[in-house]
Structure 1
């Protein structure tokens, strides 16, 4: 069945059946769109839970603070 034949048959349905068809089609589009969006969102979040903590050497912090203190005296 071609798209044109399907459209022709849909237009011959009573109005309540056409509304039901529209609602069914919209619901299926929402589900498919949501599924695609959900997959896309997850791929962008990959690696977000990785730890970025770096061990900080106290000597480095002390040197940095000293440098800033001297700079802004």
Structure 2
């Protein structure tokens, strides 16, 4: 069966049958594309669960305050 034959047959279906076919095709495409999307999402989340050191944040804030104080004296 060629694509042109399939298209002719699809156009002979009722409107509701064509909508059902469209929905089935979209779900199929989404299912096939999902592993690619999941991989991309995971790579963007790399490092999100790193532990933050509270004392390290205080040290950075203190250093920044010192820097600003010296800069504007």
- Report the TM-score range of the alignment, normalised by the length of the smaller protein: 0.5 to 0.7
State how many pairs are aligned: 67
Report the Cα distance in structure 2 between the residues aligned to 1:18 and 1:71, rounded to whole angstroms: 70
Q: Counterparts of 1:26-45 in structure 2 under 5 Å?
A: 26-33=26-33, 35=34, 36-45=36-45
Gapped regions of structure 2 (runs ≥ 5) = none
User: Does residue 16 of the first structure (1) align with residue 26 of the second (2)?
Assistant: no
Q: Aligned-residue CA RMSD in angstroms?
A: 3.3
Question: Which runs of structure 1 show a deviation greater than 3 angstroms over 4 or more consecutive aligned residues?
Answer: 30-33, 51-56, 67-73
Q: Which has the higher helix share?
A: 2
